């Protein structure tokens, strides 16, 4: 697994249309986390598009050297020691395999739509040959070969992503279409799509120039630039609110296009937004430097109140519209806004001593459908958790 991960990350970073983060691959592989993550380097949103098959545990931040930051919050080795001890929520979950329509030892579910009906992922060998798969009510379809590295799927089953050459695409009703690249830019990076078909991403050009962009699934050759040059778009909510960055500041834009910075936790030099659902958004701030790399700390914003808070977990992989936070470590955890938590179960037919490493990458808006994969015996298999109250 280590060699394949190294090759995949290196190939994608070479093709990325934004500055390349220096990834601590060893730590990423050791953590066993398999998902797409966004990172900011020097104020620019750099995205490692791994189609659900990679995670950055730490990155180098060129602007972090010599800048004081607050003491890093104590992070438990497992989130179970950091959450509320209130009685567990009456939610029961069951994991089941997602069917694999094609062969490949690396099969991962990377995202789920807000309703929990559509799941998107990738199947391949881990060597840039992964095919995008869309599961609809558990039935699998393989997207055309021209679609690679899916970023998201919406409640209508529209899948969006970015090919390795920086071409954005969308898949709807069995047809693959490509997104326009704005003049003056040579590539785009697609990050999110909402139920209306609004697609959010970033165009990049010469000299590290970049600009947040919106496209429509109905008119993929049309686009609208968001904010000023130097902006990025990493997420979009169902009402059309866009989140991203301007310079080194996390930013949000209303559906009418009015922009304003998001708060940065006291004492931290900057923050980046990774995704948003409903009134919530999650991202990271740079913490202390460890072994030449900067530890990234997870944060959460309430987009209604503007409040921002540091999260006492090793990482956050997703946020639901109801505020449930997905912590996708080797034994994934869902944490409600009130601090109560529930650990996602493993597959019932797998003995505890052979449970493998579970990762969770996506969560529906009600927090009851979650998707990810399990790694065991040198193979990744995609799975879905269905929960009920």
Does the structure show a pLDDT above 90 at 292? no
CATH code at 113?
2.130.10.10
CA dist., res. 140 & res. 371, Å (int): 14
CA dist., res. 346 & res. 363, Å (int): 16
Residue with tokens 């326009």: 180
What is the predicted pLDDT for the residue at 351? 52
Give the predicted TM-score (pTM) of the model. Answer: 0.79
Average pLDDT over residues 130-152: 97
Does the structure show a pLDDT above 60 at 20? no
Does the structure show a pLDDT above 70 at 23? no
Kindly report which listed range (144-153, 223-232, 265-274, 287-296) carries the lowest average pLDDT score: 287-296
3-state DSSP of the chain: CHHHHHHHHHHHHHHCCCCCCCECHHHHHHHCCCCCEEEEECCEEEEECCCCCCCCCEECCCCCCCCCCCCCCCCCCCHHHCCCCCCCCCCEEEEEECCCCCCCCEEEEEEECCCCCEEEEEEECCCCCCEEEEEECCEEEECCCCCCCEEEECCCCCEEEECCCCCEEEEECCEEEECCCCCCCCEEEEEEECCCCEEEEEEECHHHCEEEEEEECCCCCCEEEECCCCEEEEEECCCCCEEEEECCEEEEECCCCCEEECCCCCCCCCCEEEEEECCEEEEEEEEEEECCEEEEEEEEEECCCCCEEECCCCCCCEECCCCCEEECCCCCEEECCCCCEEECCCCCCCCHHHCCEEEEEEECCCCCEEEEEEEECCEEEEEEEEEEC
CA dist., res. 72 & res. 333, Å (int): 22
Q: How many domains does the chain have?
A: 1
The pLDDT confidence band at residue 288, using thresholds 50, 70 and 90, is confident
**Containing domain of residue 271, as a range?**
2-388
Average pLDDT over residues 256-278: 95
Residues of the chain above pLDDT 90, percent: 66
Kindly report which listed range (56-65, 287-296, 339-348, 355-364) carries the lowest average pLDDT score: 56-65
pLDDT in tens, 80-108: 444 444 454 589 999 999 999 999 999 99
């Amino acid at each position: 697994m280590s060699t394949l991960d190294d090759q995949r990350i290196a190939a994608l970073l070479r093709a990325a249309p934004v500055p390349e983060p220096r990834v601590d691959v060893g730590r990423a592989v050791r953590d066993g986390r398999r998902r797409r993550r966004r990172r900011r380097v020097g104020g620019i949103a750099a995205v490692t598009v791994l189609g659900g098959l990679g995670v950055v545990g730490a990155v180098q931040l060129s602007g972090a050297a010599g800048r004081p930051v607050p003491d890093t919050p104590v992070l438990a080795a497992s989130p179970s020691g950091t959450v509320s001890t209130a009685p567990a929520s009456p939610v029961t979950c069951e994991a089941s395999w997602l069917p694999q329509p094609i062969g490949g030892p690396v099969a991962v579910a990377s995202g789920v739509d807000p309703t929990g009906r559509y799941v998107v992922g990738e199947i391949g060998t881990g060597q840039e040959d992964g095919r995008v798969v869309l599961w609809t009510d558990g039935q699998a379809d393989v997207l055309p070969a021209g679609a690679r590295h899916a970023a998201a799927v919406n409640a209508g089953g529209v899948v969006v992503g970015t090919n390795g050459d920086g071409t954005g695409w969308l898949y709807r009703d069995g047809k693959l279409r490509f997104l326009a690249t704005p003049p003056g830019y040579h590539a785009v990076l697609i990050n999110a799509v909402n139920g209306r078909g609004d697609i959010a991403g970033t165009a990049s050009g010469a000299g590290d120039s970049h600009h947040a962009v919106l496209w429509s699934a109905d008119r993929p050759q049309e686009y609208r630039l968001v904010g000023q040059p130097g902006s990025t778009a990493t997420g979009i909510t169902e009402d059309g609110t866009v989140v991203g960055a301007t310079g080194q500041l996390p930013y949000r834009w209303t559906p009418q296009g009015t922009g304003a910075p998001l708060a940065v936790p006291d004492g931290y030099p900057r923050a980046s937004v990774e995704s948003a659902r409903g009134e919530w958004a999650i991202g990271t701030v740079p913490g202390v430097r460890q072994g030449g790399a900067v530890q990234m700390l997870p944060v959460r914003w309430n987009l209604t109140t503007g409040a921002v808070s540091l999260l006492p977990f090793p990482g956050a992989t997703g946020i639901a519209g109801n505020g449930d936070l997905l912590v996708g470590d080797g034994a994934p955890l869902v944490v409600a806004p009130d601090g109560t938590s529930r650990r996602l179960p493993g597959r019932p037919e797998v003995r505890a001593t052979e449970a493998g490493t579970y990762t969770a990458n996506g969560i529906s808006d009600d927090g009851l459908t979650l998707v990810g994969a399990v790694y065991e015996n040198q193979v990744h298999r995609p799975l879905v958790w269905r929960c009920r109250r």
